Amino acid sequence: MDEPWLNKAMLELRPFDSLTTWANSRLWAKLSAPLPDDPLVHACALTYLSDFGTGFANVDVDGLPKGGPSLDHAMWFHSPIRADGWVLIDLAPRKAGGTRGLYDGAMYDEGGTLGAVLAQEVLLRPWTEEQQRAFEEARATRA
């Protein structure tokens, strides 16, 4: 993934595989630096990682942004998993309307252990043509 704003030294992201479709967004993520063995530290790091995906990444609807700023975010932790190991983030959109979107998802370790589930509401406000043009120009200058 090539995101110019991402500090690649502290985080690694990889696509899941060809099973990712319009109905979901799956990616592998991990923190690059080793973390202490404290489960609370890993729960905090998983919370951080949970905000790197969007359930709308693969939804292709004219005028619907792929994501936006978080309005509400909830997580439920089930089993301790390490955030400095590969974590599968599996997200699915549930509703988009009235400039808001809702998606939910789950986070698993490489062995398939369910670490956490999440739900997130995001602002899905389409960009104006001027905003889109400015974004594309900024992206082109970083490439």
CA 101 to CA 95: how far, in whole Å?
6
Considering the candidates 25, 90, 109, 120, report the single residue annotated as catalytic.
120
Tokens, residue 7: 């500090």
Considering the candidates 32, 70, 79, 131, report the single residue annotated as catalytic.
70
Considering the candidates 32, 38, 51, 72, report the single residue annotated as catalytic.
51
Active-site residue 120, yes or no? yes
Q: Please, are residues 72 and 128 in contact by the beta-carbon 8 Å criterion?
A: no
Q: Please, are residues 99 and 121 in contact by the beta-carbon 8 Å criterion?
A: no
Rg (CA), the chain: 16
Active-site residue 70, yes or no? yes
Q: Is 21 exposed, middle or buried (0-12, 13-18, 19+ CB in 10 A)?
A: exposed
Residues 6+ apart with CB under 8 A from 42: 35, 80, 81, 82, 83, 84
- Active-site positions read 51, 70, 120
